[in-house]
Structure 1
Amino acid sequence: MDSPRVTLVDRGRVRADMGYVISGYSMASASAPNPDHEIGEFVVWAAVIETKNGTFLWDTGCPPNAETYWPEPLYDAFEAYNATDRSLESDLQTVGYRIEDIDAVVMSHLHLDHAGELSQFAGTETPIYVHEDELPFAHLSATTTAGSIAYLHADFTGAYNWQLVQGDTHTLAPGFKLLHLPGHTPGLLGAELSIDGGEALLIAGDEAYVEANYHDGAPLGPGLMWSQLHWQESRQRLREIERQTDAAVLYGHDLDVFERLAARFSM
């Protein structure tokens, strides 16, 4: 296999106020002091990436017990309403894989909706790739009042075979390049993939929750942005790669785009 093969894995849905995802979406004004709020439906996904160097899992999604495991204010804001109906194991089986098929895991970042089933790999020798800026920030956030509230310590503590990704670019296999995209979090990872057949896929991940973040430059909403300056720089980097490669772009939680690209790329 000279080029990666990608299979996108549907990991369920989250409902949340659009104001979290697009800054100013329901902004009040003098003429509309009490604007209506819109609840959006967002996808949670993972991906299996087969390469010459092994089979990689991209993120793990929400845990089945999110409703009781996540802190109540977080679940109230980001309702993973069908998490109990699925698991990483069952969702992998739906697309023809088993957890035992996974040779390594790439964590785009360690927020609770991405690291929710990382525990499937605790106590194993499975390499877990994470950017060197993400792991300390996750620990800081989960154990102090600093940082972000979207990290749960139990998601990433334990016997893991961490592999720290350094710098802006890290090649995991031919045609599979990790990209450091700080902004949403300090250590957010995306990827540039050269797919069989000459197509290119650019994983923006949570750099852009939805298409409006990426194409229109609408920033993420409150609580979802570690650094807007870094976010803007990461977005420009992705857009330059897109211009050079004519890649399709996969966002972190855009349901319509996910369904379209799942049909296009998944084996």
Structure 2
Amino acid sequence: MATDPRPARLAVQVQPQHAEYAELRRLASSFEEMGVDVILNWDHFFPLNGDPDGLHFECWTMLAALAESTERVEIGPLVSCNSYRNPHLLADMARTVDHISGGRLLFGIGSGWAERDYTEYGYEFGTAGSRLDDLAAALPVIKDRWSRLNPPPTREVPVMVGGGGERKTLRIVAEHATIWHGFGDVETLVRKNRVLDEWCARVGRDPREIERSTGVAPTPGRAPEQVADYAAAAQALHEIGIRLFTVGWNPAEDRDPGKVRDLVSWRDEVNGRRP
């Protein structure tokens, strides 16, 4: 893809697991004070690692609370599961959080994958293909409902679609998303960026309209005593067109915010180099 003139942005995914809500709220406020651009959570009903029955909180009610307790950062799910809510209801929930936050909602959505969430909460798991078909059908409904709500959203809500399937997911991204959140190493993301560009050409969309996003995984230092270098990992991703960088924060394991501070500094440096 062509060089993206957008500035680099940094998100922290505060995992809503293994902590009381007061701690999650404190973390979100702390990261906002550090200067991150976006605070994300996820849409599951049970922890994804550690004790599978440990402390865990629901996505959208947490986002509504964070909309009140933060002031500047965008907030959103990485990503909301399309299967768990009627698309009209989900649109209304998202619109409400958008207003509570003063127009800071980033609407992440995906087709779902965590089978335990489905079975314990009574949703039909289906197949990966059927869930993607449901997502493709729901997105136009969500956008139409936004246009008919009173009041409507405060702005054109950014829609982030997560996933990397080249036959269905990237087509959905090309048709509906303003942000694509992909997964994989640099080589994988280069290929999937190219496939997404091809889907944009097929559906008549300018691929430059879609911001590219992924998680930042650390690269090992050259010597055993060196710490993992998040900034180097982010730089490699930036060079292939990624502009929204997400680092995860597990309240049960993460204690040192150095990785976040390093990425804030890297973001400011790389943005300062823009023409």
What's the TM-score once normalised by structure 2's chain length? 0.32
Higher helix share: 2
Higher strand share: 1
